[in-house]
Amino acid sequence: MNCCFSELKLREIINVVNSERIGYIDDVKIDSATGKINSVIIYGRPRLFGVLGREDDVVIDCDRIEMIGSDTVLVRIDDDELCKINKTEKKGLFE
């Protein structure tokens, strides 16, 4: 199956472990030597309308991808691994 990046960006990533929506593909990491895609990137959400920056990006290795469908990408990531990827445990604004 061939796919353009513009088509890939329209697909939502869903975790098959817990059926959680992770987000939409925003970017990809490509190995320049081989030309293969190494991972997909989901940009972090803006905090306070972007004034306080963004949350951390989610980077998912391509070996975690189970299937690429016509409108979704299914990935297999355990909950504890997803928390490490998201780095959800953040300190407060003044800490």
Using DSSP, state whether 7 is helix, strand or coil. helix
| 62-66 contact pairs (CB < 8 A, 24+) | 62/36, 62/37, 62/38, 65/40, 66/16
Domain residue ranges in the chain: 5-86
Q: In the numeric block, which tokens belong to residue 62?
A: 């391509």
Reported pTM:
0.71
| CATH classification for the domain delimited by 5-86, as one of 3.40.50.300, 2.70.170.10, 2.30.30.240, 3.60.20.10 | 2.30.30.240
Q: Please tell me the predicted confidence (pLDDT) of residue 1.
A: 66
pLDDT digits (tens, 9 = 90+) for 22-61: 889 888 888 899 988 888 888 877 777 767 777 778 888 8
